[in-house]
Amino acid sequence: MNPMTAPSAGDRLCFSQVRQRTLALTAQWSIEEMAAQSMPDASPTKWHLAHTSWFFEQFILLPLLPGYRPFHPRFNALFNSYYQGHGQPYPRSQRGLLARPSLEEVLAYRAHVDEAMTTPEEHFRETIAPWVTLGLHHEMQHQELMLTDRLHLLWHNPLHRVPTGGPRSLRPALEAREAQSFVGGRVEIGSDAANGFSFDCERPRHPHHLAPYALDSRPVSNGQWLAFMADGGYRNPDCWLSDGWQCCQNEQWQAPLYWQQDSQGAWHQLGLAGFAPLDPDAPVCHISYFEADAYARWAGARLPTEQEWEHAAAPHPVAGHFAESGMWRPRAANGEGMVQLYGDVWEWTQSPYVPYPGFRPTPGIAGEYNGKFMCGQFVLRGGSCATPVAQMRPGYRNFFYPHQRWQFSGLRLAQDLNHARLQP
Amino acid sequence: MNPMTAPSAGDRLCFSQVRQRTLALTAQWSIEEMAAQSMPDASPTKWHLAHTSWFFEQFILLPLLPGYRPFHPRFNALFNSYYQGHGQPYPRSQRGLLARPSLEEVLAYRAHVDEAMTTPEEHFRETIAPWVTLGLHHEMQHQELMLTDRLHLLWHNPLHRVPTGGPRSLRPALEAREAQSFVGGRVEIGSDAANGFSFDCERPRHPHHLAPYALDSRPVSNGQWLAFMADGGYRNPDCWLSDGWQCCQNEQWQAPLYWQQDSQGAWHQLGLAGFAPLDPDAPVCHISYFEADAYARWAGARLPTEQEWEHAAAPHPVAGHFAESGMWRPRAANGEGMVQLYGDVWEWTQSPYVPYPGFRPTPGIAGEYNGKFMCGQFVLRGGSCATPVAQMRPGYRNFFYPHQRWQFSGLRLAQDLNHARLQP
Amino acid sequence: MNPMTAPSAGDRLCFSQVRQRTLALTAQWSIEEMAAQSMPDASPTKWHLAHTSWFFEQFILLPLLPGYRPFHPRFNALFNSYYQGHGQPYPRSQRGLLARPSLEEVLAYRAHVDEAMTTPEEHFRETIAPWVTLGLHHEMQHQELMLTDRLHLLWHNPLHRVPTGGPRSLRPALEAREAQSFVGGRVEIGSDAANGFSFDCERPRHPHHLAPYALDSRPVSNGQWLAFMADGGYRNPDCWLSDGWQCCQNEQWQAPLYWQQDSQGAWHQLGLAGFAPLDPDAPVCHISYFEADAYARWAGARLPTEQEWEHAAAPHPVAGHFAESGMWRPRAANGEGMVQLYGDVWEWTQSPYVPYPGFRPTPGIAGEYNGKFMCGQFVLRGGSCATPVAQMRPGYRNFFYPHQRWQFSGLRLAQDLNHARLQP
Amino acid sequence: MNPMTAPSAGDRLCFSQVRQRTLALTAQWSIEEMAAQSMPDASPTKWHLAHTSWFFEQFILLPLLPGYRPFHPRFNALFNSYYQGHGQPYPRSQRGLLARPSLEEVLAYRAHVDEAMTTPEEHFRETIAPWVTLGLHHEMQHQELMLTDRLHLLWHNPLHRVPTGGPRSLRPALEAREAQSFVGGRVEIGSDAANGFSFDCERPRHPHHLAPYALDSRPVSNGQWLAFMADGGYRNPDCWLSDGWQCCQNEQWQAPLYWQQDSQGAWHQLGLAGFAPLDPDAPVCHISYFEADAYARWAGARLPTEQEWEHAAAPHPVAGHFAESGMWRPRAANGEGMVQLYGDVWEWTQSPYVPYPGFRPTPGIAGEYNGKFMCGQFVLRGGSCATPVAQMRPGYRNFFYPHQRWQFSGLRLAQDLNHARLQP
């Protein structure tokens, strides 16, 4: 399987492969780096490693494998993220205080779960197959979070600092935008069983009416973002939502997260491999919804709805720059037509994360997976350079609060079209 | 004009009538009651009286009436609510500190503005007509806020207490719900110019696809809400959105706002006329979105979308129990079929307040009126017993944050229908 | 009685006179000004008027006057400041929400209490005499607070603004300081019964050992404070206590409270009569302990202890510029030798407010008056231009938290002396 | 040297011995336990190890050792605790985020500093001798903090839980107190050069007047504390300072820190070796000043002043249960007369931490060591079971804020005596 292309519907995810990839990501990380927590929204690597094992233990091994003995009687409380049906979870903001269990114990926990999960008993394997798939998709989500949470931790360490003497002074880019037009009308949105795995929140597939619109052929670049900054974008309340302006003032935002200026005024960007000079052609990244929305208004455009995005992206193969490259940094666009729909950066849409018409949560405790977060968050689409490619599909809905910036989040502009403009 | 029925499209609002009604509301209120501010979300009556005058002064008199002299050079800063285009507004949370100007001066300010506005000059009157209409709708919105903010202030005063010895013990109601079915399909949503005045956020009228659904014939009642409470609704995280549960715990909600139990366990409800025993047949009121959503999940139903609500309500005349009754307390439902769609209580919908496809803000500073709040809030429909009837129309979108409870807000349940169930 | 000189021990305070003076202070204040609360530390005038009446009702009339009927059954809860022995007090930060009772009712409450208190019955009058004295001293304390709280409210009203075009540019003063030396040794500190009324916290009179010290002959002036500011006093952490520097940064202090610079850079100071140009020769006022302490360190001196202050002040008659002048603004020093020990500004000492050796709280609920605040506060001495002169005596201990600035608080410098320097 | 007795004035602390003891403490601790930070007041062990090395580097090696090369150019910013004279320190509350440098690098840093410090050059050794002593006393303070901070971290880990089935139900103790009387008068307080090392805040030695008083012969025990709890001590505002009651309510205190009740109601206490049943005869520990003060008021007594404590303790040899025992848990009192003045638990005094008369901070940056904290804290005396014995002397002043509980802090009661009672 080409790691940069999503598996087709018939492919089955390989349990061992996904689990091993989780560990492979951490091969070079120190014990201390895997234990620290930089903010309540982020979790220590060690916690991610344990929580993804807890998921298999709680949802598969304990209910379905006769005679299974849990690794530790208290791990349920420690590594339950938010499932109220499973008792009071340990407070999220204190995960960095869990000096015990040690990393070593957590790795033993993983091995214990892995061994039980690979029991060769046939009936068991068939019963659990859909749950395994769910668990592996859950694990892949955490693979991405391990990267974004680690980057946020690095950001707080003064030992990672911008090299003095930046290489060159970037000029803001004012290039013409290119866009593709869509006539809209009645379209079908959402995932269905025929297309392989999907989360409950992506279903059911349903009709939706779209007005004519245009979507830019590429995401907004760092160079374009510099033009926004140079034009006072962070100081002009006219561009911003009311809550966004409040947030921008409180947090004193003046640039995307992880940007830093050296003494000569050149911009650098922190990535998982340290600081590097800002690439003006790469998509802008680590911006909040509030910033994305303000940029769009400044540019005389708007963010797309998630339906507009999905309608435009569905015909394209799920291929692009994903986590398997090991680069974990958005790259400059390359090619003609609609590019970078998948991979590189998640694209904020203007759509609040709400249930689709006819939405039904997965029955049982796994029903807490998605539905109970349908308030106050916005949908992002397309995956990023930190997303496993097997995770991605046109209907995938990621969601974060509008003030959050630590994901690999960028934007692509959209615009209303009147019918006249669509005529040849 | 029958005060309980909305004016038809051809009617013109009468400037003097609307302005006088604002003052009439306050006829019995003391100077101190009109000066106090009970929370940042609420404003003193005195401030409402001044702000609604500021609106006419800033948007009409200053730009359009030659030779107009503002009443006071500093009132712009004091009574600007949130228009960044008009300079730094005075901090919202400190409006209760504005001991000066006195109520007397504010009333003089109103008179000064009223006199200038009623200049008989014909050209001026024609030029400003659309702005006057906007200003009067704005004023009516504040008429309602004056009532809700006053009620919130009363709530904090220990002199308003429940009479000891409540009259009777209420039993939770477990009546069967009645609902009306809708086949949905492609419908038209939103207001347009043909229907008289509307705010920019209600436009443009646009097609929307609706799946088949059912809508309850009446709002949820106090008696039904007691059944939810008796069943542990406020203690069961399964019913709640994640953010809602957090909020419920932090705020220690155990009943709707303004409910109080006497020593015998009987419930009473604070209204603008003081405490009264809870009426089990009246619609539940002063609940947050979080509570409405939790109730719906508990009841095996859901909140309607705003499009479902509008589609169901549009054929009905805009008539009901509105502010003109002077009662300002929701009444028990009365009649057959769909009742209380308009008036009594605002109905929470599950729709986040977002722009309609093709939304364009009003040009100029008035463009800050609605668009910049399109984040994190939910739409309510139908008006309440504190809403002026002339304010209401099928397309009217009210919006508040999901934790807010001090408006006259209730709910009506909805449900998905499959096609089969719709067949006769 | 000369209003600027404290009554001698034999004088009795006149109940009617003190009570009437409280009302006289408010003669020109509007109903709204008397109802608003600008911060949790301050109270509305209306609340002060009621609370001082509550004090007589609760501590004298209810327990000691047979047949007394309280004015209102709920006023105890509303106007109890902090006496836990009297039930749960109404939350301090919400006193501004008490739109009811109206000012009119509060004045009737005062009249009701006054009438009962002036019952001519001889036995009653004798029994209550010590409590009346306590209540009148309590009332005088609130007279001062009514002034300081009102000033704080005015500060938040943008209608009180600095006149453009300040009269002149002030130059920082760098005058030589003059000081008086004291040999110290074993001295007596504290009030005793022989000296008339005193609060429990001023007693018992007790021996204390003082090392030789010097005390400046006058308080630090505004001109001297400008020199501190010009030298970067508000930007230099070396001058500040650790907690003080934190507070200075958080609050962004750059000058004393109520100072404002006009467009030409001239300083003005808000007083109860509005803004006036800063008088360089008047004592600096409205500074926190943190600022006073930082200034002293910057000046190479220190704050005096309360014992040093009392030892120096005790031989002087209690005379100076007090509230009776009706000016309520510190005036420039005048005269030779030690001046302004009494009146004009309270003087911060370096002494935490702690019990004297052998301290015994007043028995009963009045024991909550002082003792339970003996933590985290610092003592101020000497009274201010807003203090009734009858309140003052050498042993009087005022106390506030080190970050508080809204009192008429200034400072006088002290210094250690070695014995050699004291020799002629 | 007997580790449980303080060195006499002539003894010199041995650099290598103190430094090695720091490392010895951590011998059994895991990397993760040494990296985590449980609250802003506490620091990770790794940070303590680095900071104590930074102290020698900044105050001795850099200014005084020609040719010394700092271990790492950025460590100054990272490991400066609060010395503003040394540039902006890294935010205290984020020390747990310093995943880098690794523990290994920090140990290399220690070795680098140790090697430089043990340069055999004679002149250097003599020059630095007083600074080395200061640095070793500083290091010993951090040895204690390493223990208290570690205990606080353990407390947040649910893996350390009370064993089910507590051994026995403790009964509150109501034993008679025994006390020793002191006539007081003019006494000498404070350390001076003749007595060996002391911090600047312990000096100068100065006269102080003491009234007659009595001091209990032993600290308050756990059993006595249970009697306070059983009598509603945590629910009765009468016992508490106003700020203390506020704190008790906000924090929902119901017992000392680290106490936990098992399902049968038996109390257990978390120590560095895990949970153990509460020993009723051991001194109560991990209480705040607010609790100590409330207990004393409840018991009809008071806390001693620091002068009273010092006057009583000075004649006794500095011997007791200190950190060298490796037990790190207060033990039951043992013996006749005044016991446990030194060791076991720090004893809260009623004395705010303020400068002694004639106090002069150490010149230079080390002057920030003590003086700038002289606000809002209270003095504790006598050392604890986690204090190195070489640290202790009669004049040693420890200080913490009144709400802090994570130190080994307890109390001993005092009482006023009148002269009559002292007569035989």
Q: Same domain, yes or no, for A256 and A223? A: yes
- The total domain count for chain D is 2
Q: Is the CB of C402 less than 8 angstroms away from the CB of D206?
A: no
Which of D28, D29, D31, D32 to probe by mutation at the A interface, max A CB count within 10 Å? D32
Cα–Cα nearest to D25, from D49, D5, D7? D49
pLDDT at residue B171, as a whole number: 63
Does A touch B (3+ CB pairs < 8 Å)?
A: yes
Report residue B5's pLDDT band, with 50, 70 and 90 as the boundaries.
Answer: low
Full domain range(s) for residue D148: 9-155
Chain A residues within an 8 Å CB radius of D74 = 158-159, 161
| pTM across the whole model | 0.93
pLDDT at A396 over 50: yes
Closest by Cα among A221, A224, A253 to A237: A253
In a domain, C173, yes or no: no
With cut-offs at 50, 70 and 90, classify the pLDDT of residue B9. Answer: very low
Tokens of D308: 């009273």
* Model confidence pLDDT, tens digit, residues A271-330: 999 999 999 999 999 999 999 999 999 999 999 999 999 999 999 999 999 999 999 999
Asked if C181 and C417 touch (Cβ cutoff 8 Å), the reply is: yes
Question: Is chain D touching chain A, with at least 3 CB–CB pairs below 8 Å?
Answer: yes
Same domain, residue pair D192 and D149: no
d(CA A119, CA A394): 34
On whether residue C168 sits in a domain, the answer given is: no
| pLDDT (average), residues C211-230 | 96
Rounded to a whole number of angstroms, the distance from the CA of C153 to the nearest CA of chain B is: 7
Count of CB atoms within 10 A of residue D36's CB? 29
Reading the block at residue C374, the tokens are 């003996």
To the nearest whole Å, the CA of C352 is away from the closest chain D CA by 7
Q: Which chains touch D (3 or more CB pairs under 8 A)?
A: A, C
The CATH number of whichever domain residue C313 belongs to comes to: 3.90.1580.10
What digits encode the pLDDT tens for the residues A231-251? Answer: 999 999 999 999 999 999 999
Distance CA D152, CA D147 (A): 9
Return the half-sphere exposure (C-beta side, CA atoms, 13 A cut-off) of residue B90: 19
Q: What per-residue confidence (pLDDT) applies to D1?
A: 29
Phi, psi at residue D213, to the nearest 5°? -155, 165
Neighbouring C-alpha atoms within 13 Å toward the C-beta of C300: 2
Residue type at D36? Answer: A
- Angle at CA of residue A285, ends A284 and A286, nearest 5°: 140
Beta pairing partners, A379: A399
A212 found inside a domain: yes
- pLDDT over threshold 50, residue A3: no
Q: Phi/psi of residue D186, each to 5°?
A: -80, 115
Same domain? B211 vs B360: yes
Residue C370 above 90 pLDDT? no
Residue B422 has pLDDT above 50, yes or no: no
Give me the average pLDDT of each 10-residue run along chain D (424 residues): 45 88 96 97 98 96 94 91 76 94 98 92 88 95 98 91 60 76 96 87 96 97 96 95 96 97 92 94 97 97 98 96 94 90 98 96 80 96 97 97 98 85 43
Residue C326 pLDDT more than 70? yes
Select the residue of A35, A74, A96 nearest D159 (Cβ to Cβ): A74
- Per-residue pLDDT reduced to its tens digit, B160-177: 777 665 555 556 666 678
Q: Which chain C residues have any C-beta within 8 angstroms of a chain D C-beta?
A: 82, 84-85, 186, 206-211, 237-238, 240-245, 289-290, 293, 302, 305, 350-352, 354-355, 357-358, 372-376, 402, 416
Do D36 and A78 lie within an 8 Å CB cutoff?
no
3-state secondary structure chain D: CCCCECCCCCCCCCHHHHHHHHHHHCCCCCCCCCCCCCCCCCCCHHHHHHHHHHHHHHHHHHHHCCCCCCCCCCHHHHHCCCCHHHCCCCCHHHHHHCCCCCHHHHHHHHHHHHHHHCCCCHHHHHHHHHHHHHHHHHHHHHHHHHHHHHHHHHHCCCCCCCCCCCCCCCCCCCCCCCEEEECCEEEEECCCHHHCCCCHHHCCCEEEEECCEEEECCCCEHHHHHHHHHCCHHHCHHHCCHHHHHHHHHHCCCCCCCEEECCCCCEEEEECCEEEECCCCCECCCCCHHHHHHHHHHCCCECCCHHHHHHHHCCCCCECECHHHCCCCCCCCCCCCCCCCCECCEEEEEEECCCCCCCCCCCCHHHHCCHHHCCCCEEEECCCCCCCHHHCCCCCCEEECCCCCCCCEECCCEEECCHHHHCC
**What is residue A170's predicted lDDT score, i.e. its pLDDT?**
58
The reported pLDDT for the residue numbered C88 is: 76
Alpha-carbon distance of D371 to D367, in angstroms, equals 7
Are A408 and A385 contacting, i.e. CB atoms less than 8 angstroms apart? yes
Give residue for tokens 């030298």: C231
Gap from A314 CA to chain D (nearest CA, Å): 42
**Which residue reads 């206490």 in tokens?**
D269
Q: What is the pLDDT of residues B355-408, one digit of tens each?
A: 999 999 988 777 777 889 999 999 999 999 999 999 999 999 999 999 999 999
> Which conformational region is residue B13 in: left (phi greater than 0), alpha (psi within -120 to 50 degrees), or beta?
beta
- Report chain A's mean pLDDT, rounded to a whole number: 91
Chain mean position to CA C336: 25
Quote the pLDDT of residue B415: 96
Check pLDDT > 70 for residue B151: yes
Task: Please check whether residue A321 is in contact with residue A385, taking contact to mean a CB–CB distance below 8 angstroms.
Answer: yes
pLDDT band at C371 (very low <50, low <70, confident <90, very high): confident
- Residues ≥6 apart with Cβ < 8 Å to B413: B177, B179, B215, B216, B220, B296, B299, B301, B302, B303, B304
Angstrom CA distances, C65 to A153, C19, C79, C109, C134, stand at 70, 19, 20, 17, 17
Q: Are residues C139 and C211 in the same domain?
A: no
Name the pLDDT band for C405 (thresholds 50, 70, 90): very high
Helices (H) then strands (E): counts for chain C: 11, 12
Residue A152 has a pLDDT of 97
Chain B residues within 8 A of C153 when measuring between CB atoms: 97, 99
Contacts of D328 (CB under 8 A, 6+ apart): D147, D271, D272, D273, D385, D386
Q: Where does the pLDDT of residue A86 fall: very low under 50, low under 70, confident under 90, or very high at 90 and above?
A: low
Residue that the structure tokens 């959050």 belong to: A404
Closest chain A residue by Cα to residue B204: A211
List % helix, strand, coil for chain A (3-state, nearest 5).
40, 15, 50
Instruction: Give helix B103-117 / helix B45-56 axis angle, nearest 10°.
Output: 20
Q: What is the pLDDT of residue C163?
A: 67
What per-residue confidence (pLDDT) applies to B48?
98
Q: What is the pLDDT of residue B174?
A: 61
Would you state the pLDDT for residue A423?
41
The pLDDT of residue D370: 84
Of A364-378, C295-309, D178-192, the least confident: A364-378
Which residues are CB-neighbours of B298 under 8 A, at least 6 positions away?
A: B228, B231, B233, B236, B239
Round to whole Å and give the CA distance between C257 and C279.
15
pLDDT for position A168: 55
Question: Are residues C197 and C245 located together in one domain of the fold?
Answer: yes
Residue A341 above 90 pLDDT? yes
Indicate contact of A with C: 3+ CB pairs under 8 A. Answer: no
Cα gap A346→A144, rounded to integer Å: 12
- Please name which of A184, A142, A145 lies closest in space to residue A310, comparing C-alpha atoms: A184
Do D36 and A102 lie within an 8 Å CB cutoff? Answer: no
Whether residues A238 and B84 touch (CB distance < 8 A) is answered with: yes
CATH assignment at residue D61: 1.20.120
Average pLDDT over residues A100-125: 93
Q: Are residues C138 and C189 in the same domain?
A: no
Examine the pLDDT at A174 and tell me if it is beyond 80: no
The rounded distance, in Å, linking the Cα atoms of B234 and B230 is: 9
Lowest mean pLDDT among A119-133, B124-138, D16-30: A119-133
- Residue C39: both structure tokens together: 């911060």
CB atoms inside a 10 Å sphere around CB A169: 9
Residue C224 covered by a domain: yes
Contact D49, D22 (CB under 8 A): yes
What's the CA gap between C106 and C59, in Å, rounded? 18
Which pLDDT belongs to residue B3? 33
Element (DSSP H or E) covering residue A243: helix A242-251
Q: pLDDT at position B168, please?
A: 56
- C214 and C322 fall within a common domain: yes
> Rounded distance, CA C98 to CA C36, Å?
9
Tell me which chain D residues have a C-beta less than 8 angstroms from the C-beta of A76.
Answer: none
At CA A119, angle to CA A113 and CA A123, rounded to 5? 125
**B interface with C, Cβ–Cβ below 8 Å:** 30-33, 35-38, 46, 74, 77-78, 90, 94, 96-103, 153, 156-159, 161
Q: Is D168 a member of any domain?
A: no
Residues C179-191: what's their mean pLDDT?
96
Residue D303 to residues D222, D290, D344, Cα–Cα distance (Å): 17, 11, 18
**pLDDT, averaged across chain C:** 91
Element (H, E) at C213: strand C213-216
Tens-digit pLDDT profile for residues B196-238: 899 999 999 999 999 999 999 999 999 999 999 999 999 999 9
Residues facing residue D184 across a β-bridge: none
Residue C297 and residue C249 share a domain: yes
Give the tens place of pLDDT for each residue, A7-22: 554 457 899 999 999 9
Q: Rounded to a whole number, what is the distance in angstroms from the first to the last CA of chain A?
A: 42
Nearest to C237, CA basis, from B402, D371, B231: D371
Q: For chain B, how big is the Rg over CA atoms in Å? A: 22
Q: Are residues C221 and C147 in the same domain?
A: no
Percent of chain A with pLDDT over 70: 92
Pick from D85, D186, D376: which is nearest to C376 by CB? Answer: D376
With beta carbons less than 8 A apart as the criterion, state whether B416 and B267 touch. Answer: no
The mean pLDDT value of chain B amounts to 91
Sort out which chain C residues have CB atoms less than 8 A from B35's CB and list them: 31-32, 35-36, 99
- Residue A148 contacts residue A42 (beta carbons within 8 Å): yes
pLDDT of residue B228: 97
The neighbouring-strand residues paired with A208 are A187
Same domain (yes/no): A256, A373: yes
Residue C199 in domain? yes
Could you tell me if D305 and D253 are in contact, meaning their C-beta atoms sit under 8 angstroms apart?
no
Per-residue pLDDT at B65 exceeds 50: yes
Confidence bin at A27 (pLDDT 50/70/90) = very high
Q: Say what the pLDDT of residue D3 is.
A: 33
At a CB cut-off of 8 Å and minimum separation 6, what does D402 contact? C375, C376, D241, D243, D244, D247, D288, D289, D290, D293, D376, D377, D378
B165 in a structural domain:
no
Among residues A155, A171, A206, which one ends one of the domains? Answer: A155
Q: CA-CA distance, A183 to B178, in Å (whole number)?
A: 41
Best A359, A365, A375, A417 member to test B by mutation, with max B CBs in 10 Å, is A375
For residues A101 and A90, what is the distance between their CA atoms, to the nearest angstrom?
14
C53: in domain: yes
- Would you state the pLDDT for residue D406? 98
Pairwise pLDDT comparison (D363 vs A332), residue with the higher score: A332
Which amino acid belongs to residue D175?
E
Q: What is the mean pLDDT of residues B55-72?
A: 94
Q: Which residues of A367-396 are buried (b: 16+ CB within 10 A; e: fewer)?
A: bbbbbbbbbbbbbbbbbbbbbbbbbbbbbb
Residue of A nearest to B289 (CA): A375
Q: Which one of B155, B170, B203 terminates a domain?
A: B155
Residue C35, pLDDT above cutoff 70? yes
Same domain? D274 vs D376: yes
* Cα angle D417, D421, D424; round to 5: 140
Chain D residues touching residue A102 (CB < 8 angstroms): 30, 32
Please state the separation of Cα A356 from the chain's center in Å.
20
Q: Is residue C422's pLDDT more than 70?
A: no
In this structure, the answer to whether residues B148 and B19 fall within a common structural domain is: yes
Q: Which of B122, B155, B188 is the last residue of a domain?
A: B155
